[in-house]
Amino acid sequence: MENIGIETTQNVNINYRIASLGERVLAQIIDSLILGGYFFATILLWIYVIDYYSNSRYYYPVALIIILYLPAFFYDFIFEVFLNGQSPGKKIIKIKVVKIDGTQPGIGSYFLRWILKPIDVFFTYGAVGLITILINGKGQRLGDLAANTTVIKIKEQVKLEDILVPETKETYDAVYTQVSVLSDSDIQIIKDVLNHKISASEIVYQNLIDKTKERIAMKMGVEPDTNGIRFLNTVIRDYTHLNSK
């Protein structure tokens, strides 16, 4: 599957691998199994309620059906909103929904994907979604095109120590106090860039480091270290130290 370049809010372009059709199908199968288990549980509950409350004046079958099946109806939409672009199936397969322009998908984006999914998948047995993904080359089904999103493969979570940034001590003095102008998302971008060495060539990785160094230094208003990796590691260390007080 091809890669896609997503430009972050710091104008740093990071390449991600587009989730393959197999990964998306497998995630959908897992979600379907979860929904199947939920439906089975609700059927058992329904049988119990009918048997126990059918003669009660508090028995409202229509209201009960709505309460039981609304979560299943909004399954993808609810999980993608609250799990940051992932359903349980996507989380297990380690894929997620992202905006192509680098911004954070909002409720509107997730809603467009959800409302068009029946056309992409269910009403056409997946034909529309499959053809759309194969034609546009960016891993986008019809819902993704409408929402300007795609589905990417995400890397394993990397701890701070994995990128050679030691734990800050009480006596540590920050090198760049200007890190206060940065946000958590800026620091996450830096971590993503540093960790990108795993999947990038040496030249591409160095260009990515240099560009990130320039953008971060410009935002902080400082003269960066000539060694980009050392500078970015120092920024993370300073930010962690100053925000842990």
Q: What percent of the chain has pLDDT over 70?
A: 80
pLDDT winner (highest mean) among 51-55, 68-72, 105-109, 192-196: 105-109
Domain finish residue from 107, 133, 153: 153
Clarify whether residues 17 and 104 are in a common domain.
Answer: yes
Clarify whether residues 60 and 115 are in a common domain.
Answer: yes
CA proximity to 141, closest of 162, 161, 158, 118: 118
Kindly report the average pLDDT of the chain as a whole number. Answer: 82
Clarify whether residues 40 and 89 are in a common domain.
Answer: yes
In the predicted structure, residue 123 carries a pLDDT above the cut 50: yes
Distance of alpha carbon 236 from alpha carbon 242, whole angstroms = 10
> Mean pLDDT over residues 198-207, rounded?
69
In the predicted structure, residue 113 carries a pLDDT above the cut 50: yes
- Pairing mode of beta strands 3-7, 13-17: antiparallel
Clarify whether residues 12 and 121 are in a common domain.
Answer: yes
- Residue 77's Cα: distance from chain center in Å? 14
Give how many domains the chain has, as a whole number. 2
In the predicted structure, residue 161 carries a pLDDT above the cut 50: no
- Lowest-confidence segment of 40-44, 55-59, 87-91, 124-128 by average pLDDT: 55-59
Q: What is the pTM of this model?
A: 0.65
Q: Could you give phi then psi for residue 158, rounded to 5 degrees?
A: -110, 130
> Mean pLDDT over residues 50-61, rounded?
63
Q: Report the pLDDT value the prediction gives residue 57, as an integer from 0 to 100.
A: 59
In the predicted structure, residue 198 carries a pLDDT above the cut 60: no
Q: Report the pLDDT value the prediction gives residue 10, as an integer from 0 to 100.
A: 56
Per-residue pLDDT tens over the stretch 173-188: 888 989 889 988 888 8
Distance of alpha carbon 99 from alpha carbon 101, whole angstroms = 5
Cα torsion 138, 140, 142, 148: sign = negative
Clarify whether residues 93 and 202 are in a common domain.
Answer: no
Domain finish residue from 136, 153, 170: 153
The pair of three-digit structure tokens given for residue 229, joined into one six-digit string: 């990796």
- Residue 238's Cα: distance from chain center in Å? 26
Taking residue 130's Cβ as centre, other Cβ atoms within 10 Å add up to 17
Per-residue pLDDT tens over the stretch 100-111: 887 889 999 999
> Mean pLDDT over residues 199-208, rounded?
72
Domain finish residue from 153, 184, 199: 153
Q: Report the pLDDT value the prediction gives residue 163, as an integer from 0 to 100.
A: 45
Q: Report the pLDDT value the prediction gives residue 147, as an integer from 0 to 100.
A: 94
Q: Which domain holds residue 132?
A: 3-153
CA proximity to 163, closest of 111, 81, 230: 230
In the predicted structure, residue 124 carries a pLDDT above the cut 50: yes
Clarify whether residues 137 and 198 are in a common domain.
Answer: no
Clarify whether residues 65 and 80 are in a common domain.
Answer: yes
Clarify whether residues 93 and 166 are in a common domain.
Answer: no
> Mean pLDDT over residues 108-135, rounded?
90
Clarify whether residues 78 and 194 are in a common domain.
Answer: no
In the predicted structure, residue 217 carries a pLDDT above the cut 50: yes
Clarify whether residues 24 and 88 are in a common domain.
Answer: yes
- Residue 188's Cα: distance from chain center in Å? 13
Clarify whether residues 22 and 125 are in a common domain.
Answer: yes
